[in-house]
Structure 1
Amino acid sequence: MFDTMTITKIVGGFCGTLLVFLLGAWLAESIFHPHVAYHDGERVQGFIIEVAEEETGPVEEVSEEELIAQFQEAFAAADPAAGEREFRPCAACHSLVAGENRTGPYLAGVVGREVDTAQGFNYSGALERVVDVWTPEHLNFFIENPSGYTPGTSMNFRGIRDLQARANLIAYLATIQ
Structure 2
Amino acid sequence: MTKDETIYRMIKSDKEGGFRILLDAYQKPVYYFIRRMVVVHEDAQDVMQEVFVKIFLGLNKFRGDSTLSTWIYRIAMNESLRFLNKKGIKVVSADNVHDELIDNLKASDYIDYDDKMAVKFQEVILRLSDKQRVIFNLRYYDEMDYQQISKITDTKVVTLKVTYHYIKEKIKKYMVEE
Q: Which has the higher strand share?
A: 1
TM above 0.5 = no
Category of TM-score, reference length = shorter chain: under 0.3
**Structure 2-normalised TM-score?**
0.22
Give me the TM-score of the superposition, normalised by structure 1.
Answer: 0.22
In proportion to residue count, which structure has more helix? 2
Larger Rg over CA atoms: 1
